[in-house]
Amino acid sequence: MTLEEQILIGSEIHSDFGRTGMSIFGNIMSAIFGHSSSQAPAAPATAADAAATPAAQSAPAAAPAEAPVDAAPAAATDTAATPAAAPAGAPVDVAAIMDNLSSQAPEKLDWRNSIVDLMKLINLDSSLAARKELAQELNYTGDMNDSASMNIWLHKEVMTKLAENGGKVPDELKH
């Protein structure tokens, strides 16, 4: 599954912490990668909005034809309701996004060291049951009753998986 497909699926997150059949890791990735669009310059939501922007007015008329021929059909659907991914090849700066969210949080959350705080910061269920489910998704082989060890492994594994899926993650968070 491509990153774009995972993000499109992630847009199905509901108030019941994404229990729409999407994986917990998918919810994490969608929540973080979806915030990347809010840190980038605002893109018009519709073609009509794009035509109204100064950049679009000064652009040559042939510019829309430069879209890749093999673009996924899903790209033609309404993207206003789906979180935008970074352009292909441009990694999503996970640390910058999380630091920004952390600076706006009402409580101090140590997302760099705690899977619980990371999940809280992106408004996901951080209960032991949710973390055990995440551990199963990511093929944790340790003792799930040793939550401290599981949490440390989960944090590193989530950071590694985010990096594997287009996230820019500091090395010290992956090892």
Break the chain into its structural domains and give their ranges. Answer: 3-173
pTM for the predicted model, two decimal places: 0.61
Number of H helices and E strands in the chain, helices first, is 8, 2
CA neighbours within 13 Å on the CB side: how many for 84? 16
User: What pLDDT score does 62 carry?
Assistant: 41
Task: Provide the pLDDT for residue 12.
Answer: 41
- State the Cα–Cα distance between residues 34 and 8, nearest whole angstrom: 10
Region 49-65: mean pLDDT is: 39
Choose the weakest-confidence range: 13-17, 28-32, 84-88, 130-134: 13-17
Distance CA 111, CA 56 (A): 39
pLDDT, residue 68, reads 41
- Residue 76: pLDDT band by 50, 70, 90 thresholds? very low
Q: How confident is the model at residue 40 (pLDDT cuts 50, 70, 90)?
A: very low
Q: Which long-range contacts (CB under 8 A, 24 or more apart) does 128-131 make?
A: 130/17, 130/24
pLDDT digits (tens, 9 = 90+) for 155-175: 999 999 999 999 999 999 887
- Between CA 95 and CA 170 the distance in angstroms is 7
Please say whether the beta carbons of 115 and 151 come within 8 A: yes
Residue 47, pLDDT above cutoff 60: no
Rounded CA separation 131/116 (Å): 8
Mean per-residue pLDDT over the chain, rounded? 72
pLDDT-derived band at 48, boundaries 50, 70, 90: very low
pLDDT per residue over 135-150, tens digit each? 999 999 999 999 999 9
More confident residue, 72 or 20: 20
pLDDT surpasses 90 at 151: yes
Q: What percent of the chain has pLDDT over 70?
A: 57
**Dihedral (C-alpha) 118, 30, 27, 47: value to the nearest 10 degrees?**
140
